[in-house]
Structure 1
Amino acid sequence: MAKAVRASLGELQITCQVCKSDLFRERGVKLNSTGGELFNLAWADETATGLICLRCGFVHLFVNRQLELHRATD
Protein backbone atom coordinates (compact mmCIF):
# COMPACT_ATOMS: atom_id res chain seq x y z
CA MET A 1 0.00 0.00 0.00
CA ALA A 2 1.29 3.46 -0.89
CA LYS A 3 2.23 5.86 1.87
CA ALA A 4 -0.54 8.21 2.98
CA VAL A 5 0.18 11.90 2.46
CA ARG A 6 -1.40 15.22 3.32
CA ALA A 7 -1.11 18.13 0.90
CA SER A 8 -1.04 21.91 1.05
CA LEU A 9 -0.68 24.98 -1.11
CA GLY A 10 1.10 27.44 1.14
CA GLU A 11 -1.09 27.77 4.25
CA LEU A 12 -4.09 26.13 2.56
CA GLN A 13 -4.58 22.48 3.57
CA ILE A 14 -6.04 20.33 0.79
CA THR A 15 -9.11 18.23 1.63
CA CYS A 16 -11.16 15.95 -0.60
CA GLN A 17 -13.91 17.74 -2.50
CA VAL A 18 -16.27 14.80 -1.94
CA CYS A 19 -15.77 13.50 1.61
CA LYS A 20 -13.49 16.17 3.19
CA SER A 21 -10.78 13.65 4.16
CA ASP A 22 -7.21 14.99 4.22
CA LEU A 23 -5.44 11.67 3.51
CA PHE A 24 -4.34 10.88 -0.03
CA ARG A 25 -2.17 8.59 -2.12
CA GLU A 26 0.04 10.48 -4.60
CA ARG A 27 0.58 9.50 -8.23
CA GLY A 28 1.97 11.22 -11.32
CA VAL A 29 -0.59 11.61 -14.12
CA LYS A 30 0.18 12.37 -17.79
CA LEU A 31 -2.03 15.05 -19.36
CA ASN A 32 -2.04 13.72 -22.90
CA SER A 33 -2.94 16.03 -25.75
CA THR A 34 -4.50 15.06 -29.06
CA GLY A 35 -1.49 16.36 -31.00
CA GLY A 36 0.96 14.50 -28.81
CA GLU A 37 -0.91 11.25 -29.29
CA LEU A 38 -1.32 11.79 -33.02
CA PHE A 39 2.41 12.35 -33.63
CA ASN A 40 3.70 9.89 -30.98
CA LEU A 41 4.88 12.76 -28.76
CA ALA A 42 2.82 11.88 -25.69
CA TRP A 43 6.06 11.57 -23.70
CA ALA A 44 6.42 15.37 -23.99
CA ASP A 45 2.97 16.17 -22.56
CA GLU A 46 2.64 17.86 -19.20
CA THR A 47 2.47 15.85 -15.98
CA ALA A 48 0.10 16.58 -13.09
CA THR A 49 0.16 15.40 -9.50
CA GLY A 50 -2.79 13.15 -8.79
CA LEU A 51 -4.03 12.93 -5.21
CA ILE A 52 -6.30 9.93 -4.71
CA CYS A 53 -8.49 10.18 -1.61
CA LEU A 54 -7.90 7.22 0.67
CA ARG A 55 -11.47 7.34 2.00
CA CYS A 56 -13.62 7.64 -1.15
CA GLY A 57 -11.19 7.29 -4.09
CA PHE A 58 -11.92 10.64 -5.74
CA VAL A 59 -8.96 11.80 -7.86
CA HIS A 60 -7.78 15.41 -7.58
CA LEU A 61 -5.35 16.75 -10.20
CA PHE A 62 -2.84 19.53 -9.59
CA VAL A 63 -0.45 21.17 -12.03
CA ASN A 64 0.55 23.83 -9.51
CA ARG A 65 4.23 23.31 -8.72
CA GLN A 66 3.81 24.87 -5.25
CA LEU A 67 1.80 21.84 -4.09
CA GLU A 68 3.54 20.40 -1.03
CA LEU A 69 3.15 16.79 0.10
CA HIS A 70 3.63 15.82 3.74
CA ARG A 71 3.91 12.25 5.00
CA ALA A 72 0.91 11.43 7.17
CA THR A 73 2.01 10.13 10.56
CA ASP A 74 -1.34 9.10 12.03
Structure 2
Amino acid sequence: MASKPVRASLGEVWLTCQICRGDLFRERGVLLNSTGMEFMKLAWADENATGLICWRCGYVHLFVNKDIKLYRADK
Protein backbone atom coordinates (compact mmCIF):
# COMPACT_ATOMS: atom_id res chain seq x y z
CA MET A 1 0.00 0.00 0.00
CA ALA A 2 1.38 3.35 -0.99
CA SER A 3 -0.36 5.67 1.47
CA LYS A 4 0.45 6.04 5.15
CA PRO A 5 -1.80 4.46 7.78
CA VAL A 6 -4.16 6.67 9.79
CA ARG A 7 -6.28 6.29 12.90
CA ALA A 8 -9.70 7.92 12.98
CA SER A 9 -12.08 9.29 15.56
CA LEU A 10 -15.57 10.70 15.61
CA GLY A 11 -15.77 12.96 18.62
CA GLU A 12 -14.43 10.99 21.59
CA VAL A 13 -14.91 7.60 19.89
CA TRP A 14 -11.93 5.95 18.18
CA LEU A 15 -13.01 3.98 15.12
CA THR A 16 -12.21 0.31 14.56
CA CYS A 17 -12.95 -1.97 11.64
CA GLN A 18 -16.39 -3.61 11.77
CA ILE A 19 -14.92 -6.88 10.49
CA CYS A 20 -11.53 -7.46 12.16
CA ARG A 21 -11.47 -4.69 14.84
CA GLY A 22 -8.25 -3.25 13.38
CA ASP A 23 -7.61 0.42 14.09
CA LEU A 24 -5.38 1.38 11.14
CA PHE A 25 -6.88 2.63 7.89
CA ARG A 26 -5.95 4.00 4.50
CA GLU A 27 -7.97 7.13 3.69
CA ARG A 28 -9.53 7.84 0.31
CA GLY A 29 -12.06 10.40 -0.90
CA VAL A 30 -15.16 8.81 -2.45
CA LEU A 31 -17.74 10.43 -4.75
CA LEU A 32 -21.27 9.15 -4.11
CA ASN A 33 -22.57 9.22 -7.68
CA SER A 34 -26.26 9.03 -8.50
CA THR A 35 -27.69 7.84 -11.82
CA GLY A 36 -29.62 11.07 -12.43
CA MET A 37 -26.60 13.28 -11.89
CA GLU A 38 -24.46 11.02 -14.10
CA PHE A 39 -27.08 11.22 -16.85
CA MET A 40 -27.12 15.03 -16.71
CA LYS A 41 -23.28 15.15 -16.63
CA LEU A 42 -23.40 16.70 -13.14
CA ALA A 43 -21.69 13.89 -11.20
CA TRP A 44 -19.15 16.40 -9.89
CA ALA A 45 -21.97 17.92 -7.80
CA ASP A 46 -22.79 14.65 -5.99
CA GLU A 47 -22.01 14.24 -2.30
CA ASN A 48 -18.51 13.26 -1.15
CA ALA A 49 -17.61 10.73 1.53
CA THR A 50 -14.48 9.73 3.40
CA GLY A 51 -13.52 6.14 2.68
CA LEU A 52 -11.49 4.34 5.33
CA ILE A 53 -9.99 1.10 4.06
CA CYS A 54 -8.94 -1.25 6.84
CA TRP A 55 -5.18 -1.74 6.75
CA ARG A 56 -5.51 -5.35 7.95
CA CYS A 57 -8.50 -6.86 6.10
CA GLY A 58 -9.34 -4.31 3.39
CA TYR A 59 -12.96 -3.70 4.40
CA VAL A 60 -14.16 -0.27 3.18
CA HIS A 61 -16.00 2.00 5.63
CA LEU A 62 -17.76 5.10 4.25
CA PHE A 63 -18.45 8.25 6.26
CA VAL A 64 -20.34 11.35 5.13
CA ASN A 65 -19.98 12.95 8.56
CA LYS A 66 -17.59 15.89 8.20
CA ASP A 67 -16.62 15.68 11.90
CA ILE A 68 -14.44 12.61 11.37
CA LYS A 69 -10.83 13.30 12.35
CA LEU A 70 -7.82 11.48 10.92
CA TYR A 71 -4.49 11.09 12.70
CA ARG A 72 -1.23 9.91 11.21
CA ALA A 73 -0.17 6.57 12.67
CA ASP A 74 3.12 4.72 12.73
CA LYS A 75 2.56 1.19 11.53
- Give the TM interval when normalised to the shorter protein: over 0.9
Secondary structure (helix, strand or coil) at the match of 2:37 reads helix
**Cα RMSD between the aligned structures?**
0.7
Q: Secondary structure at the match of 1:3?
A: coil
2:29 alignment partner in structure 1: 28
- Structure 2 residues not aligned, in runs of 5+: none
Aligned partner letter, 1:26: E
Give the Cα separation in 2 of the matches to 1:10 and 1:40. Answer: 36
Q: How many pairs does the alignment contain?
A: 74
Counterpart CA distance in 2 for 1:9 and 1:24 is 14
After TM superposition, where is structure 1 displaced by more than 2 Å over at least 4 residues in a row? none
Task: Provide TM-score, normalisation by structure 2.
Answer: 0.95
| Unmatched tracts of structure 1, length 5 or more | none
Distance 2:49 2:15 in 1: 16
SS at match of 1:43: helix
Q: Could you tell me how far 1:35 is from its partner in structure 2?
A: 1.1
Q: Percent identity?
A: 68
- Counterparts in 2 of 1:9-48, with a 5 A limit? 9-48=10-49
